[in-house]
Amino acid sequence: MSEAVAAFPAASSMAPAKGVGLVRAWLLVIAGLVYAMILVGGATRLTDSGLSITEWKPLLGAFPPMNEVDWTDAFAKYQSMTAQYHSLNPNMDIEGFKGIYWWEWSHRELGRVIGVAFALPLIFFWATGRTTRKLLPHLLILFVLGGLQGLIGWWMVSSGVNSELTSVAPYRLMTHFGLALLIIAYCFWLWMELGATKRETPSEAFGWATALIWISGLQMALGALVAGLDAGRGYTDWPLMSGHIAPPEMWSMDPFWLNFAENPATAQFFHRLVAYLLLAMAAWTACKFRAQHWSLFLLFAGLVGAQALLGVVTLVHAAPLDMSLTHQALGTVVLLAATRLVWTARPAA
């Protein structure tokens, strides 16, 4: 059935009496920086650059090697401390090392920039009364999550240092990526709380929107696992997987549970399966909650459809860097669209 759409500004006790526009703009800047961080992180993973820096120096690490002696020392640590060098890059010279080093350094440096871009304005807003008792705890939680993200980033990288792994542990990569998505969605949610426009939706829309955001989050996590296992560069036929609906090797690991964390066939199979589920639910809700003029559910379904098509094209081309990053970028937009759905359909307090 069709329904008219009414738009009205959301009133929130979170909003400060002054400077709310400035705070909202700041939250969007932080969200944009986190979005860039996600894309640079994706490029770092896809170029196998994440293990090029074998130490964690939150402050001194802001300075890259400044001369040939420093470069030689950094390269020697990569050679001696990672199995990746011996297994994947035994013929790499120092110029090749610089190529992967700059990706990882840029990823870490952007994290430092985000930390400063968040902390300094937060202090200013706090000192000048541009926060409220309800808003401030959320901003402090965001700050803590950002610090935790740095720790998890090193926890992820350390899995490939002085170990037999030739890349970071996939489940740690999934955790790191998942927290980045939580941070960007949290920023977007607060931006909406401080003055975005709500659209009138039926009461039952909230349950559907909640289901969509959970499935979207699960799909993004599975995508990170696929990336961590390089599973997107295998089984490049579609809709089958090497001629099978479910390849028999997806249950080949022992113990059985290991298949869910380390088997590329299993990761890709479930990534496909959840994609079909999300696409079907997005189409169903777009039809169910269609509006006479405009519908967030219709927009969400369009984004999911584009993401599904891009996923298939990326797969059959064996996940080249440009397509993979575009797929990741659009996936993040899908999650933010789901966040908007939940916020809009949430029942009034």
Question: Distance between CA 208 and CA 192 in Å, rounded?
Answer: 20
Question: Distance between CA 221 and CA 300 in Å, rounded?
Answer: 19
C-alpha R_g of the chain: 22
* Residue 177: per-residue pLDDT: 95
* Residue 348: per-residue pLDDT: 75
Residues for the chain: how many in total?
349
Q: Where are the domains of the chain?
A: 15-200, 201-349
- Concatenated DSSP letters of 202-215: -TTHHHHHHHHHHH
Number of C-beta neighbours around residue 346 at 10 A: 15
Please tell me the pTM assigned to this model.
0.91
Q: How far is CA 253 from CA 20, 140, 184, 258, 339, in A?
A: 54, 43, 35, 6, 36
H or E element, residue 50: none
* Residue 1: per-residue pLDDT: 39
* Residue 316: per-residue pLDDT: 93
pLDDT tens, N- to C-terminus, the chain (349 residues): 344 455 555 556 787 878 889 999 999 999 999 999 999 999 998 888 989 998 888 877 788 999 999 999 999 999 999 999 999 889 999 999 999 999 999 999 999 999 999 999 999 999 998 888 999 999 999 999 999 999 999 999 999 888 888 889 999 999 999 999 999 999 999 999 998 888 777 888 899 999 999 999 999 999 999 998 988 888 889 999 888 999 999 999 889 989 998 899 999 999 999 999 999 999 999 998 887 546 889 999 999 999 999 999 999 999 999 999 999 999 999 999 999 999 998 887 6
